[in-house]
Structure 1
Amino acid sequence: MTIQKSSMNRFSPVLGLLLGAAVLLSAGCSENGGKPSSEPANVANVTQPTKETTEQRVARRAQEHMDALIARDWAKAYEYLPPATRKLKPLEVYANKMRAGAIIRKAASVKSVECEEDVCNVTVDLTYIYSGVVEAFRGQESKSLVKEKWIFSQDDWWLAPQ
């Protein structure tokens, strides 16, 4: 039997529809061991983005801030100061103060975050090297627990100036 080109064009939409239906049916069967399912799909296995808690958000921001200080990326660390503070203290002033500090931060990890309304108290375990003027301590690596206060303002959490 010979099919002429003109008659094939007439059946193409029907064939496409049938092929599409067959693909959909086979996909539905393969998800249930080859058997069609009469129950609705279980959506519990679908990964949903979870919303950060306040404590998680503050801990993440505090760690990011410490990571910027360790990298000596003063511009990045400056971004964690409240907008009002940044209006009063230009980046150059902040960076010069940080460069002149007596410590070189080596490692940091957020140990705890305790929040009440618009204030969070953060404890950071900091490892640093002293680089100040006291000769006897210069170059020594030390550890310290650093207490920080983070405040909520203008829809985000910021490191409170000290």
Structure 2
Amino acid sequence: MAAPDDLALQTLSEQLGERLRLSRHMLVTAESCTGGWIAKAVTDIPGSSDWFDCGLAAYSYEAKQALLGVRPETLERFGAVSRETVLEMVSGALVHSGATLSVAVTGIAGPGGGTADKPVGTVWLAWKRRGGYPKAEVFHFDGDREAVRRQTVEAALRGLGLLLD
């Protein structure tokens, strides 16, 4: 799978922003391996203040706990790159913001950090509407660090679009 280019991310962000504006949703992002790239992609769109509440870049275990309410037991038992952690991140983002829609990501972008169970390119994404049930999905992206992160941003934006369908 080829990594999306900047124009593709811009187009996805513009389309998502228009849909969020029309549906009166506010978005929050909770990002680990993307380091705020999803928030950057959507705030590059003029008028994003109408539908973007905030972005939380929580890279360390401590930040995930303090900013998003991820339980220490979850991190100890399952690790940062897990379904359990991303589900707590996506829910915590809504608790700690005024948003109505959230996306969360945690993964291994590389070049190091991978294991046999969780190789480089393993990324968990989750999406949730306030008051609803979260959806989580694991991805296995190819490429270098930038390619993995770029593909993650695209998948996050596409998933938000599906949540609005």
TM-score by length of 2: 0.27
Larger gyration radius, structure 1 or structure 2: 1
Higher strand share: 1
Higher relative contact order (CA 8 A, sep 6+): 2
More helix by share: 2
